């Protein structure tokens, strides 16, 4: 298995602050991405979630925020 990063880029026809909130506000994250007990947009913050196909196995994802540029960029492992 390789350890190459997965980079996801997209262009959305919405204000930047709305996209940023969707990526960093736990209440917004829960609506479209995954369920987290807690989330803080801070470098070093660790979080986890389970995910997978509805009819298949679920996998535990262990993540840590590695980069953050307020309103512009968030990266995590």
Tally of structural domains, the chain: 1
What number is the average pLDDT over the span 18-32? 92
CA atoms within 13 A on the CB side of 77: 11
- 63: containing domain: 16-76
Residue 42 belongs to a domain with what CATH number? 3.30.530.20
b/e burial code for range 18-51 (CB count within 10 A of at least 16 → b): eebebebeeebbeeeeeeeeebeeeeeeebebee
Report the pLDDT value the prediction gives residue 66, as an integer from 0 to 100. 97
Q: Is 7 contained in some domain?
A: no
Strand order in the sheet with 46-51: 46-51, 59-69, 73-76
pTM: 0.77
Mean local confidence (pLDDT), 28-34: 87
């Amino acid at each position: 298995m390789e350890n190459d990063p997965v980079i996801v880029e997209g262009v959305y026809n919405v204000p930047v602050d709305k996209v940023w909130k969707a990526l960093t506000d736990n209440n917004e994250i829960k609506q479209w991405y995954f369920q987290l007990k807690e989330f803080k947009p801070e470098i070093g913050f660790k979080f986890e979630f389970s995910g997978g196909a509805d009819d298949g196995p679920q996998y535990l994802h262990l993540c840590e925020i590695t980069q953050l540029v307020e309103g512009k960029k968030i990266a995590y492992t």
